Amino acid sequence: MTSPDLQYTVERFLYREVRLLSEGRFEEWLDLFTDDARYLMPIRETTADREDSERGEGFLPHVDDDKAFMKARVQRLRHRLAHAEQPPSRLRYFVSNVEVDEAGDGGSDGELDVRCNLMVYQSRLERTEKIFVGRREDRLRAGNGGYRIAGRKVVLDQSLLPRSITIFF
């Protein structure tokens, strides 16, 4: 059972994190990740028997970035030739159903496994609106003055995504 203080601390961390994304403060958002972080978004598949699965190893995911690649994506978004984000999207992020557990796979002290539901609203040029829904599975690591994201797995409910994904989840 998670203590109310820890639950509150993690929820405040997540609320701040999605506020940074909503406001397009990507460099500050990147500072919330550890240097060895992995950001993964596997492909989702629904089979005929309705069993839901995520394609694992051996399948190319939608996204599998380290922090250096995430920084490169942010730099690309900031470039004037990033036409898909000129002008930038209007974004609104919602997180809910936050569950916090101490890392149970032999992780080091101070690590937490955090799951939450996620909804992202994206508006482009008053003509295009998209809503993405799914869950996030984060590994938070305690550090100087708070937590940082050591790993993130984003599992969207949509099986088909736009040709180019220009936002972070």
Q: CA 80, CA 102: separation in Å to the nearest integer?
A: 43
**Rounded mean pLDDT, 22-47:** 89
High-pLDDT (> 90) share of the chain, %: 50
> Is the pLDDT score of 49 beyond 90?
no
Terminal CA-to-CA distance of the chain, rounded, Å? Answer: 27
**Rounded mean pLDDT, 19-29:** 94
Q: CA 163, CA 18: separation in Å to the nearest integer?
A: 23
pLDDT at 4: 93
**Rounded mean pLDDT, 8-18:** 97
**29 and 23 in contact (C-beta within 8 Å)?**
no
pLDDT band at 61 (very low <50, low <70, confident <90, very high): low
Top pLDDT among 139 and 60 is at 139
Q: CA 28, CA 65: separation in Å to the nearest integer?
A: 18
Q: CA 14, CA 61: separation in Å to the nearest integer?
A: 24
Global pTM value = 0.84
> Is the pLDDT score of 137 beyond 70?
yes
Strands 33-41 and 146-156: parallel
> Is the pLDDT score of 107 beyond 50?
no
Q: What residue segments make up the domains of the chain, in order of their start? A: 4-156
pLDDT at 63: 76
**Rounded mean pLDDT, 82-91:** 75
- DSSP reduced 3-state for 4: helix
Which residues 6+ apart lie within 8 Å of 45 measured at CB? 52, 53, 54, 55, 159
The first and second tokens of residue 118, run together, are: 């996620």
Instruction: Give me the CATH code for the 4-156 domain, please.
Output: 3.10.450.50
From residue 63, alpha-carbon distances to 48, 66, 100, 111, 167 in Å are 25, 10, 24, 23, 11
Stretch (H or E) spanning 72? helix 67-78
Top pLDDT among 112 and 42 is at 112
Top pLDDT among 86 and 52 is at 86
**Rounded mean pLDDT, 122-130:** 82
Point out which residues pair with 156 in neighbouring strands: 134
Residue with tokens 């998209």: 130
